[in-house]
Amino acid sequence: MSDTTLRVQDPSLVVLVGVSGSGKSTFAATHFGLYETVSSDHCRGVVSNDPNDQSVTPEAFALLHAIVGARLQRNLLTVVDATNVQPHARKELVALARTHDVLPVAIVLDVGADVAAARNRERPDRTFGSHVVDRQQGQLRKSLRGLQREGFRTVHHLRSEAEIAGVVIERVPLLTDRRHERGPFDAIGDVHGCLPELLTLLDELGYVVERDAVGRPVDAVHPQRRRVIFLGDLVDRGPDSPGVLRLAMGMVRAGHALAVPGNHEDKLVRALAGRDVTVSHGLETTLAQLAGETAEFREEVAQFCRDLVSHAVLDGGALVVAHAGLKQSYHNRASGRVRAFALYGDTTGESDEYGLPVRYPWAQDYRGDAVVLYGHTPVPRAEWVNGTMCLDTGCVFGGALSALRYPEREVVSVPATAEHYAPARPFPTGGVGSSDGGASGRTGAARPADVLDLRDVTGVRVVDTALLGRVSVPEENAAGALEVMSRFALPPRALPYLPPTMSPVATSTLPGHLEHPDEAFASYARDGVGTVVCEEKHMGSRAVVLVCRDDGGTRFGLAPGSPGVAWTRTGRRLLQPDLEGELLTRLRDAVATAGVWDRLDGATWVLLDTEIVPWSLKADELIREQFAGVGAAAAAVVPAALAALDAAAARGVDVGGLRTAVAGRAENAERFRDAYRRYRWDVDGLDGVQLAPFQVLASGRTEADAAEPGVGGSTHETRPHPWHLEIADALVAADPVLIRPTRRLVVDLADEASRSAGVAWWEELTGTGGEGMVVKPLANLVLADRGGRPLQPGLKVRGREYLRIVYGPDYTDEANLARLRQRHLGRKRSLAQREYALGLESLARLVRGEPTWRVHQPVFAVLALESEPVDPRL
Amino acid sequence: MLVTLSATARPDTPFADARDLGHLLHKHPDRAQRFELSVGVAHVFYPEATAERTTVALLLEVDPVGIVRDQRFGASGDVSLARFVNDRPYAASSLLAVALGRVFSTAAAGRSASLPEVAAHAIALRIHLPSLSCRGGAERAVAMFTPLGWRVDAAPVPLDSEIPAWGDSRYVDLTLEGEITLGTALRQLTVLLPVLDGAKHYWVGEDEIDKVLRHGEGWLTEHPLREEILRGSLAHQRRYVEDATARLLDTAAVAAPEASDAPPAPDVPVTPSLAAQRAEAVLDALRSVRAASVADLGCGEGALLRHLRSDRSFTRVLGTDVSVRALEKAADRLRLRDASDTERERLTLLQSSLTYRDDRLQGFDAAVLMEVIEHVDPDRLPALEDTVFAHARPGAVVVTTPNAEYNATYPHLHERADGAPVRHTDHRFEWTRAELASWADGVAARNGYTVTVREVGPGDPELGSPTQLALFVKEAAA
């Protein structure tokens, strides 16, 4: 017997229907994967240890539904292996499929009661009599007629053992599933019959238009094989809907364009089919225009519009197009409400004062990874909202016709030649920014662009980073970070970056040392780094500084003209507002004087990684309470102890060893005081304060009239350190009083003499009280050969005297050092690496123009990781 | 850390030869001795030993690396740098007190086999503690030792001699002179060093009461600062202090009145505190809008939740705070762990932030922001407005916040980082009545609420009341 091919949509919910003994389990095992099939008998076994125990039916089906629901949530093809001969059983499954907008498919295995009963007799575990099968067979027979009506989109009825045995299942993707189409694309918003503007736009995009014998455009071809995506609403209102259709249909037919339907096409289909529709909103124009075309053309149009599929998932799932947009849970799903959403948006059922439907601003809540491009609601400008963009810029209302070049993410617009149709609601054509992302109507509650949801940070605590993949944040750390972020940090929009922690160098075994440059050189040499730069470490406080000119700060929610903002490593404002204003104004002047804006391609904002000194500016209380207190206690007691010992010695008491030890302590205590004293001095306002920039993190232009504000910036982690230091030097030259130079030395790791020079330089630096240095690969970001993970971006090598502040006055005693050398660096290193990857991720998201919540996620994660318990001395 | 004790001989008394100090202490004046103790290594030696005057020195060496690895010093949990660099190796503290008790135990007990009459005799003593950790400064040391008959010289140690602007440290160079038995002097040091330092390096359990009473025998009962000494010695555990007091005064253990740490102030008329009035005003506002489900946003340790819980007309109560620690305290105070399932369903606690939208805050009849908004930076208020009024959208919102005008009546205010006077250092702003009204009107207009503002607490005709309350009621959907 010839094989029967069953086409089964993937994904779909396949419901097997058949009496006990009809061979459902065998069928499922033959045609579907191990995990794809959910069996009621298996669920009975799971909850009761007995797959035939009928008394646990409710529990078993509760479990079955839970499993099926979870799989459908993930859009996975799922097969239900249960008798399903009773309508109520099927009804629940159909409802489950609908909840998840997955197609329900029925496959009926109809072998007849005799065969089934015979099979059951052969199985010792099936103890029920043949009357059970008879009853089921009766229920099945009654069910067969109504399966379509129950909601099954497809019903396959297999009528014999032989037919069942010959079945071949062919899995077919949903019509919306076009993930194999990789682009590049040019997605064009609502055309509405504006043929002249469409032709200009295609020309602008580089397409060559082909015309038929009478000069009508019928196709357009791109020399680089780019393709157009029409986002729907090709017709109505405008001057030449038939012309637009002719061109679009030609392009789709020739494979030069894809199209999704708009609500206007949907209505046109119904009108052309002679159905009763209200002819309004420009449909009257189209019908009048089509009346001048041939019947054949009209039929072609009807066919074309009818065949359009609600939405398309493209480029491996990274791009979704739908006329009115599509929320994430509807991507690549099939149901009536998915189609309604794709064509009409998330309507509330209400109308606004102009009689237009009120829609929920779905894009504001969009959190998906896929880019969603859509049209439908005219907006003054195409703007990114959470990775979605509306490209309907109201051409027919006198706005512009816009396209997005994908994957380049460039908006290309051509202005309308005229207001072709008066809008029902006044269409804002001026520069008034609208960030409501397709929302219309709803007063007051429109969500501003930088609103965050708790789920953004505490729900999904896994952040995808380009450098390290998924970085996860423990729940308790996120809880702690939430408090700091909410109560003490700058507003998230103004806080696009937090600096990572830095690992110290591996512990040195050289006498008297805990840290030494040798270890840093050896470590990078092992990792294949040829040249490193040693940068002086300024003992102060880490400060990230955003310097802005003109309206550069508006990207960060700052007032126009703001010189920027500066923050600490935990995201707190660095200085009191008046001092901060003074600092940033001077920095901005220095950036301008040094010509840094020009070097950064005309940027209007730049993010600098810096250290601010003195340490006491931010840490005065810590120095007094902690370090000065210890020094005072020591200074008071040690001389008295020495005097007492000397007096005893003078009496001839042997206190030799103890006296040496106490004398050593006296010396160490004085060195300890010297150590912290070097990092504090009095300041008056900004007098005495210095800022040492050492890295340019990112820069960009904020342009008020750009289609995509904020996009066009760059991060600079792949520029070699000399580039960064050159900019730092230029800033020092511009304001040597405020800006402190960072001394540095380049070391060739292959050259022993160069390494020795590096060690000597460090000894000199720290011998005169310097904190130490940071050794970095000269090339900046370096990925390890194996695994491609980033190397530590820097290793700190702190000075012997400085470390007294960290490890205590007497840490240099060899007995103490021996124990302190047993420090564990693994956790600190891992933390430094993860925070580095997160920091770069937030910067990358920032310059890509991603929404605040996306930039905020890695920033929040850095703060959360900082609360991990790690030895603070590292 | 170091302590020296000098004894001066008095002819015609049992203590006619100062070298007898060595006998009393069981430590030979011509030898340096070394004792390995749990707290470190104690060295005992005599800088002088003549018939006229003999001085003994006890020098305790604390292992600075070992100390941070030791559980007793908080090696678990505390990861601040303070643990690693601290004054313990230098300053006189409970470590030294323990060393004194151990090394000179017989003398401290007032016993002496060879010279019992000397041990019982008050001798001229001079005690020098060059670096005494003393919270409360030199005056506190004076107040502690003077009532015991000592002439006290307490010189504050400068925080850093090179930086005079910093002023004094919390260390005192202390010299005590007096006529006292050696045992009493040692026992006084044992008790008072940790009290002045404000900490003990070991866990204070019930047996500490016995120890303190034993060491306090003969001098503690009459000490004017007895309560303070007991509290400091017993780690501020009220039950221990009450028990110890009762035993000291040789009375039966009387049940101490509640809130013994708040002395009654008889001349203050009995009016509810401002906090109580404020809570009552909030409850009134909630009842006026017939709220059954209430979210207390920024509930802190649960001051208002207590009231909400006791009124059964509130059928669902949610407390949120951004601080997990505050929520844990609230759960403790409300004894949520012991509550029935029904009660736990009625009253729940959640961590949430007012600057992030949170779906779990939706669907309440009313939300309360009691003394919360002033803890939010002004530039985050739009986010708070969005979270509460645009997203959670309860039927009513009650906001209370200080009235800055009323601050003129407070003699003592805190100073914010920028110098502005505020009632609490964490207040990011305090509003005048006009400022609150302006904010409230804007919020109401933008979000479809109507608002009324009232005052809470005793009013001043010019300045208004200490607290102001705004009640927002959602307008019926059009």
Residue A431 pLDDT class (50, 70, 90 cuts): very low
CA B362 to each of CA A439, B288, B346: distance values in angstroms, whole numbers, following the listed order: 21, 21, 16
DSSP string for residues in A647-711: HHHHTT---HHHHHHHHHHHHHHHHHHHHHHTT----BTTBT-EEEEEEEEEEE---TT-SSTTT
Question: Hunting for tokens 């953004």 — which residue is that?
Answer: A456
Residue A5, helix vs strand vs coil: strand
CB contacts, 8 Å: A873 with chain B? 81, 84
* Closest alpha carbon to B299 in B371, B233, B236: B371
Residue type, A104: P
ipTM of this complex: 0.82
Question: Is there a domain that residue B63 lies in?
Answer: yes
Test A662 with B59 for CB contact under 8 angstroms. yes
Weakest-pLDDT range from A410-414, B173-177, B471-475: A410-414
Scanning every residue of chain A, which has its alpha carbon at the shortest distance from the alpha carbon of B446?
Answer: A444
Q: What tokens were used for A733?
A: 């030259």
Q: Are B283 and B145 in a shared domain?
A: no
Q: Which residues in chain A have Cβ-Cβ distances shorter than 8 Å to B131? A: 632-634, 636-637, 640
Q: Which residue has the higher pLDDT, B354 or B261?
A: B354
Residue A302 to chain B, least CA–CA distance (Å): 41
Judge if B124 and B23 occupy the same domain: yes
Please indicate whether, in this complex, the C-beta atoms of A627 and B85 are within 8 angstroms of each other.
yes
Instruction: Give backbone dihedrals phi and psi of A43, rounded to 5 degrees, phi first.
Output: -65, -35
pLDDT at residue B165 tops 50: yes
Strand-pair category, A185-188 with A227-230:
parallel
Beta pairing, strands A13-17 & A104-109: parallel
Query: Are A267 and A302 within 8 A, CB to CB?
Result: no
Under a CB-based contact definition with an 8 Å cutoff, are residues B456 and B465 in contact? yes
DSSP string, A303-359: HHHHH--SEEEEGGGTEEEETT---GGGTT--SHHHHHHHHH-SEEEEE-TTSPEEE
Per the CB < 8 Å rule, is A451 touching B358? Answer: no
Cβ neighbourhood burial of B399 (10 Å; 0-12, 13-18, 19+): buried
Instruction: Using the 3D structure, point to which of B202, B226, B251 is the last residue of a domain.
Output: B202
Find the residue in B nearest to A559 (Cα).
B379
Q: Which A residues, 451 through 470, put their C-beta within 8 Å of a C-beta on chain B?
A: 451-458
Secondary structure of residue B343 in the 3-state scheme: helix
One domain for residues B144 and B56: yes
∠ at Cα A782 (A780, A788), nearest 5°? 160
Mind listing the pLDDT tens digit for each residue in A532-570? Answer: 999 999 989 999 999 999 888 988 989 889 999 999 999
Condensed to tens digits (0 to 9), the pLDDT of residues B27-79 reads 999 999 999 988 889 999 999 999 999 999 999 988 877 766 654 444 334 44
Put simply, the answer to whether B356 touches A457 (Cβ < 8 Å) is yes
CB distance B158–A632 less than 8 Å? Answer: yes
Residues B284 and B421 in one domain: yes
Please report, rounded to a whole number, the percentage of residues in chain A having pLDDT higher than 90: 62
Kindly state whether residues B193 and B281 are assigned to the same domain: no
Tens digit of each residue's pLDDT (9 = 90 or more) over A387-413:
899 999 999 998 899 999 998 888 899
Question: Are B177 and B281 found together in one domain?
Answer: no
Domain end (from B142, B174, B202):
B202
- Per the domain annotation, does B232 fall within a domain? no
CB A29 within 8 A of CB A38: no
Cα gap A635→B130, rounded to integer Å: 10
To probe the interface with A, which of B65, B196, B372, B450 has the most A CB atoms within 10 Å? B65
Distance CA A782, CA A796 (A): 17
- When CB atoms are compared, the residue of A637, A648, A816 closest to B65 is A816
A190-215 residues labelled b (16+ CB within 10 A) or e (exposed) = bbbbbbbbbbebbeebebebeeeeee
B4 backbone dihedrals φ, ψ, rounded to 5°: -120, 145
Six-digit token string for B213: 């009473």
| B239 domain-assigned | no
Task: List the structure tokens of A313.
Answer: 């998932």
Is residue B255's pLDDT more than 60?
Answer: no
Task: List chain B residues with CB under 8 Å of A871.
Answer: 79
Tokens of A203: 């020309």
For residue B175, the model assigns a pLDDT of 96
Query: C-alpha distances in angstroms, A234 versus A188, A320, A445, B365?
Result: 10, 19, 32, 47
**Amino acid, single-letter form, for residue A49:** N
Query: Are B149 and B287 members of one domain?
Result: no
- Reported as type and span, the H/E element at residue B131 is strand B123-133
Look at residue B405 and tell me if it is in a domain. yes
Question: What is the structure's pLDDT at B253?
Answer: 38
Are B44 and B162 in a shared domain?
A: yes
A806 touches chain B (CB under 8 A): yes
Residue B240 forms part of a structural domain = no
Identity (one letter) of the amino acid at A825? L
Q: How confident is the model over A165-170, as a mean pLDDT?
A: 92
A794 near A776, Cβ under 8 Å?
Answer: yes
Q: Do B65 and A637 touch (CB under 8 A)?
A: no
Touching B: A residues 365-384, CB under 8 Å = none
User: pLDDT per residue over A779-832, tens digit each?
Assistant: 999 888 666 788 999 999 999 999 998 888 888 888 888 888 888 888 899 999
CATH number, residue B65: 3.30.1610.20
Give the residue from B175, B202, B229 where a domain finishes.
B202
Q: What is the 3-state secondary structure of A520-563?
A: HHHHHHHCCCCEEEEEEECCCEEEEEEEECCCHHHHHCCCCCCC
C-alpha torsion angle, residues A301, A307, A310, A311 (rounded to 10): -90
Are residues B456 and B376 located together in one domain of the fold?
yes
Distance from the Cα of A76 to chain B's closest Cα (Å) equals 28
B83, B23, B34: which is closest to B60 by C-alpha?
A: B34
Chosen for mutation from A447, A637, A816, A868 (greatest number of chain B CBs closer than 10 Å) is A637
**Tokens (6 digits) for A560:** 């126009």
Q: What's the mean pLDDT in B378-405?
A: 94
**Pairwise CB contact (< 8 Å): B84 & A654:** no
Position B425 confidence tier, pLDDT thresholds 50, 70, 90: confident
If one counts the domains in chain B, the total is 2
Output the pLDDT for position A410.
87
Q: What is the pLDDT of residues A263-305, one digit of tens each?
A: 999 999 999 888 878 888 888 889 999 999 999 999 999 999 9
DSSP notation for A439-496: --S--S-PPPTT--BHIIIII--EEEETTTEEEE--HHHHHHHHHHHHHTBPPGGG--
Judged by CB atoms within 8 Å, which residues 623-662 of A form the interface with B? Answer: 624, 626-641, 643-648, 651-655, 658, 661-662
Q: How many whole angstroms separate alpha carbon A338 and alpha carbon A345?
A: 9
Maximum CA pair distance of chain B?
104
The pLDDT, as a whole number, for residue A446 is 39
> A486 and B90 in contact by Cβ < 8 A?
no
What confidence tens digit (pLDDT) does each residue in A296-345 have?
Answer: 999 999 999 999 999 999 999 999 999 999 999 899 998 888 998 999 88
DSSP, collapsed to helix, strand or coil, labels residue B425 as coil
**pLDDT the model gives residue B69:** 60
Record: contact A482-B81, CB cut-off 8 A: no
Q: Is A860 on the interface with B (CB under 8 A)?
A: no
Q: Which residue among A454, A644, A872 sits closest to B352, beta carbon to beta carbon?
A: A454
- C-alpha–C-alpha distance, residues A527 and B154, integer Å: 60
Burial class (CB in 10 A: 0-12, 13-18, 19+), A417: middle
CATH number for the domain spanning B463: value is: 3.40.50.150
Q: Are residues B301 and B412 in the same domain?
A: yes
**Cross-chain Cβ contact A630/B87 below 8 Å:** yes
Q: Which of A652-661, B70-79, B198-207, B229-238 has the lowest mean pLDDT?
A: B70-79
Greatest Cα pair distance, chain A, in angstroms, is 127
B244 pLDDT tier (thresholds 50, 70, 90): confident
Structure-token pair, residue A265 = 């096409």
CA distance B81 to chain A (A): 6
**A491 vs chain B: nearest CA distance in angstroms?**
6
CA–CA min distance A82, chain B (Å): 38
Contact B81 A658 (CB under 8 A): no
Other CB atoms within 10 Å distance of the CB of residue A595: 12
B386 contacts A448? CB cut-off 8 A = yes
- Cβ distance B418 to A648 less than 8 Å, yes or no, reads no
**Are B386 and A447 in contact (CB < 8 Å)?**
yes
A811 contacts B64? CB cut-off 8 A? yes
Distant-in-sequence, close-in-space partners of A319: CB < 8 Å, separation ≥ 6: A183, A185, A313, A370, A371, A373, A406
Higher-pLDDT residue of B260 and A588 is: A588
Please give the helix or strand (H or E) that residue A131 lies within, else none: helix A130-144
Neighbours of A439 (CB within 10 A): 23
Contact A482 B375 (CB under 8 A): no
Q: What is the pLDDT of residues B368-383, one digit of tens each?
A: 999 999 999 998 999 9
Residues A842-870 have a mean pLDDT of: 89
Q: Are B186 and B298 contained in the same domain? A: no
In a domain, B118, yes or no: yes
Instruction: Report the pLDDT value the prediction gives residue A712, as an integer from 0 to 100.
Output: 64
How close, in Å, is residue A640 to chain B by CA atoms?
7
Does residue B354 form part of some domain? yes
What φ, ψ does residue A405 adopt, rounded to 5°?
A: -80, 120
Range(s) of the domain holding residue B342: 274-474
Q: Which of B43, B377, B380 comes nearest A658 by C-beta?
A: B43
Q: Examine residue B145 and state whether it is found in any structural domain, yes or no.
A: yes
| Strand A400-406 with A462-465, pairing | unpaired
- A664 close to B (CB below 8 A): no
Same domain, B184 and B289: no
